[in-house]
Amino acid sequence: MTALAQAARELPSADEVQGAIREITASGEFASADQGTSSVGEWILEKLNQLWEWFVEVGQGSPWRFVVVFAVILAVVAIVWTVVSRHAPRLRGRTPSFEERELPMTSEEWFARAAKLAEEGEWRQAASAVYRGSLLILEKRGYLSFHSSKTPGDYIREIGRGSGSSAVGFIERFQVFSFGAEPPNGRDYRTLIRAARESGCLTAAVSSREKSQV
């Protein structure tokens, strides 16, 4: 009993514990590749520090209370370690989704991606890739000025109904496909591909499978 009471009095201060935890979380095992993971680590560090301060305060009253609280601390640390070890590597190696990747790409690369997504049955994303590739071609031809904040309606007004009528038809078809009441499907996607060809946007980068289906 006396030994437990002495152990409680000899506990390190909260600042010392916080410094030790910072050294641990700064090591390679806890290094994160993005700011989101870092903010989670800082939150965990803050909570552990608060928990340790509470543990020191409670443990000074009774040795038995010290033992119980120490067991709780060990359980919490084990849980935190398990969560971090499982999810931190996944967060570091996570590949950005299609929507997150706003990389500069050529129209041919967009069409190649569209073909791959279509083969996987990802019709909506495939249509978006065809749309992005077509916009780049229309920009080169002087029909429009591409910007990620513009809507299909903005491009339709920019192109007008003159010599770019076929391009307007393609964009209108894309609107119906992507925002219509019916869920996207292969048949409507092939109709969109046909409209892209008629506008002169689609290139040979689209897979032979899509060509044979039209």
Count each helix (H run) and each strand (E run) in the chain, helices first: 10, 0
Given pLDDT bands bounded at 50, 70 and 90, which one contains residue 55? low
- Tell me the percentage of the chain whose pLDDT exceeds 90: 31
- The segment with the largest mean pLDDT, out of 55-64, 85-94, 123-132, 161-170, is 123-132
pLDDT digits (tens, 9 = 90+) for 150-162: 999 999 999 986 6
> Rounded distance, CA 118 to CA 133, Å?
15
Lowest model confidence (mean pLDDT) among 41-55, 102-116, 184-198: 41-55
Which pLDDT value is given to residue 211?
47
Q: What's residue 30's pLDDT?
A: 47
Domain ranges, ordered by start, for the chain: 2-92, 107-213
Measured CA to CA in angstroms, residue 98 lies from 82, 184, 204 at distances of 30, 17, 22
Say if pTM beats, i.e. exceeds, 0.95. no
What's the whole-number mean pLDDT along residues 186-207?
81
